[in-house]
Every structure is written in C-alpha cells, then in structure tokens.
C-alpha cells in the first residue's frame, strides 16, 4: 500500500477535516513506486526499477520477474523482494472483511477463524550463474521455474475449482524441468481462512495425487505480512533448503477432513529438502508459485542464483 506512514497521515487528515485538510505536498510521497526508487538511489543501481502491485503474491511475482530478467540477459544482478508496513487502514479493512482471527491463526485446522496481520520486508539478491561463478559467490539456492496466473473470479475468495492456482503450480514445476514427484516440501499460502485453506488443500491433492508432501504455513508464526508475505516465505524456503528443516504450522490442533494434507504440525520436522515450492494465492485471484532448489538439483538451464 505504498508509503504507509504518509497514507495514514492523509487518511487522518481527510477524516478530521475533509479534503481541504489534506496537505497536497504529501500526495506525491505516497505512491508504492517510490519504494524501489529509494532503494535504487541508496545502492546506486541504474537499471530497471519496477513495482508489482499484486497483493500478497507480490513478493513471488517480483522474484519471478527478476529471474526472467536475468535469463533474458537484461541484468546480471537484481535486488528483489517486497515490504509492507502495517497501519490502521489495512487493519480496519481486514476487520470489515471478517477475515481476522480473534485470537490466533490456525492454518488448515478444523477450527480456523482467519488470519493475523503482520508486517516486514524480505529482500533477495539474484544473479546469473555465470556472474556468481565469476565472483566466487557462495550460492544459497537456485530459482527454478515460476508460475503466474489470475483467476479474475472474486476479490477475496479463490476460484472454487482452483483452476488458476493449479495452473501456477504446474507452470512452476514444468518450467523447472521436473515432475511433482521431485518436490520435497511446499510452503503453503495458508492464511487460516476457511475458503482459502480448503481450496489450497484441494490444489495439493490435484497436483500430487495420493503422494504425501509435507506442507506448512509460515503465516502461523509470522502473521500475514501482506505484500511482503511471499518474499519473507521465499527466504524461509531458502533456509529449509540449507538446513533440511521444515518449519512448523503452529496452532494446529484438530485435523480438518477438507484439508487432508500432511501439515507439519506445531514442531519443525527434518527431511529431504532438495527442491521446494513457495505458494502465494492472493486477493483478486493473483496466483504466483516459485520453485527453489539447492544448487545443482535442477535440470533447468542457467538457474538464477539467490
């Protein structure tokens, strides 16, 4: 939502005094396009500067676009990710949507009642494999394929048949040059809302069939950090690849028959972690899924190094 502090000041002035009370000098300072411009100025970057307003799929969208830029030869290095600051307007909006849990977030649990908001930023530096080799970089992970679709179905609810999100997952897997059987772990979107979690569980069954793949929702611990969510979770996926630790979904107490998936419940689990997926299924039907892998585990050519 752009420069949140500026937005909040504008909002309070408008409520208190009407449009006449709004300081017009603030308006140009609000736009979300300013955020990466400030970063570019701070680090002296002179390449393309892009803002992708894709709700809580924004971080994955940014990661995918950055990977495409590197593979197309338009950049050797891209600083990418997402940030979001929580403020009153967002909080009150989610309350009005009846999407907020009264006490805790319980993704995939039978008694889940909604999400808990958070805030934060997740930034990754991507570079081409050739560039990483030239500077003898310590590569943490590789970005494989990514999928981007849009349901254009409903502002807050996923498509009942999850057609768009299934397409995004399939794109990410196929463009990585692998099959579903090679996925070791999935970081789920897992908001803790009734419709979204059930739809994502159906999506997992559609993609993996009878195979059991461990899944978890980091939002149970971090809160839903809105635009920053999938970028933060991508970093969590990189840490899973490095350590072999699947993060837990805390607050999981009662299995839901509609969410018949292998939830990593309450305590972290160790397991094979060569290739993982990061799901983001956002408001407005924005779907973005990214495949991340330990170096050398993907057949896809010229994987972008993170």
Whether 267 and 133 map to the same domain: the answer is yes
Whether 174 and 76 map to the same domain: the answer is yes
Residue 238 CB neighbours (<10 A):
21
11-30 mean pLDDT? 90
The answer to whether residue 38 is catalytic is no
Whether 151 and 206 map to the same domain: the answer is yes
Whether 18 and 109 map to the same domain: the answer is no
Whether 25 and 53 map to the same domain: the answer is no
94-99 mean pLDDT? 88
Whether 46 and 188 map to the same domain: the answer is yes
pLDDT of 305 > 60? The answer is: no
Whether 176 and 93 map to the same domain: the answer is yes
Domain count, the chain: 2
Whether 27 and 44 map to the same domain: the answer is no
Domain coverage including residue 84: 34-305
- pLDDT single digits (tens) 54-77: 889 999 999 999 999 999 999 999
Of the chain, the percentage scoring pLDDT greater than 70 comes to 96
Question: What pLDDT is recorded for position 301?
Answer: 54
Q: Which position among 105, 146, 159, 224 bears the catalytic label? A: 224
Question: What pLDDT is recorded for position 160?
Answer: 65
Longest dimension (CA), the chain: 61
Whether 39 and 167 map to the same domain: the answer is yes
**CB under 8 Å to 143, separation ≥6 — which residues?**
63, 67, 126, 290, 291, 292, 303, 304, 305, 306
The answer to whether residue 195 is catalytic is no
pLDDT of 200 > 70? The answer is: yes
Mean pLDDT score across all residues of the chain: 92
Using pLDDT thresholds of 50, 70 and 90, give the confidence band for residue 129: very high
**Helix, strand counts (H, E) of the chain:** 10, 11
Question: What pLDDT is recorded for position 154?
Answer: 75
Using pLDDT thresholds of 50, 70 and 90, give the confidence band for residue 162: low
276-280 mean pLDDT? 97
Using pLDDT thresholds of 50, 70 and 90, give the confidence band for residue 192: very high
We report the CATH number of the domain holding residue 242 as 3.40.47.10
Whether 148 and 168 map to the same domain: the answer is yes
Whether 79 and 109 map to the same domain: the answer is yes
The answer to whether residue 189 is catalytic is yes
Q: Which position among 159, 189, 237, 291 bears the catalytic label? A: 189
Whether 199 and 265 map to the same domain: the answer is yes
* CA neighbor of 239 nearest in space, from 289, 200, 278: 278
Question: What pLDDT is recorded for position 284?
Answer: 79
Lowest model confidence (mean pLDDT) among 56-60, 81-85, 99-103, 302-306: 302-306
- pLDDT single digits (tens) 218-253: 999 999 999 999 999 999 999 999 999 999 999 999
Residue 302 CB neighbours (<10 A):
13
């Amino acid at each position: 939502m752009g420069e949140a502090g500026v937005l909040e000041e504008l909002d309070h002035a408008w409520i208190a005094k009407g449009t006449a009370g709004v300081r017009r000098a603030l308006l140009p300072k609000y736009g979300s396009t300013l955020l990466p411009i400030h970063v570019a100025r701070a680090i002296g970057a002179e390449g393309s500067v892009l803002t992708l307003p894709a709700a809580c799929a924004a971080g994955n969208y940014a990661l995918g676009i950055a990977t495409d830029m590197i593979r197309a030869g338009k950049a050797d290095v891209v600083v990418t990710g997402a940030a979001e600051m929580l403020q009153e307007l967002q909080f009150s909006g989610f309350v009005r949507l009846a999407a907020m849990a009264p006490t805790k977030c319980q993704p995939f649990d039978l008694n889940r009642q909604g999400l808990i908001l958070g805030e934060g930023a997740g930034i990754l530096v991507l570079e081409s494999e050739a560039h990483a080799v030239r500077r003898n970089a310590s590569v943490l992970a590789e970005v494989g394929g990514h999928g981007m679709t849009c349901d254009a179905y409903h502002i807050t609810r996923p498509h009942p048949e999850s057609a768009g999100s299934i397409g995004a997952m399939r794109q990410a897997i196929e463009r990585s040059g692998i099959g579903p059987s090679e996925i070791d772990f999935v970081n789920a979107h897992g908001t803790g809302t009734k419709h979204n979690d059930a739809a994502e569980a159906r999506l997992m069954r559609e993609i993996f069939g009878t195979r059991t793949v461990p899944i978890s929702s980091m939002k149970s611990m971090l809160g839903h950090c809105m635009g920053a969510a999938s970028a933060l979770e991508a970093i969590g996926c990189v840490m899973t690849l490095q350590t072999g630790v699947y993060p837990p979904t805390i607050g999981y107490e009662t299995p839901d028959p509609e969410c018949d998936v292998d939830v990593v419940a309450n305590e972290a689990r160790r397991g094979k972690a060569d290739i993982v997926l990061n799901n983001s299924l956002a408001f407005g039907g924005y779907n973005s899924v990214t495949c991340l892998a330990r170096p050398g585990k993907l057949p896809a050519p010229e994987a972008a190094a993170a």
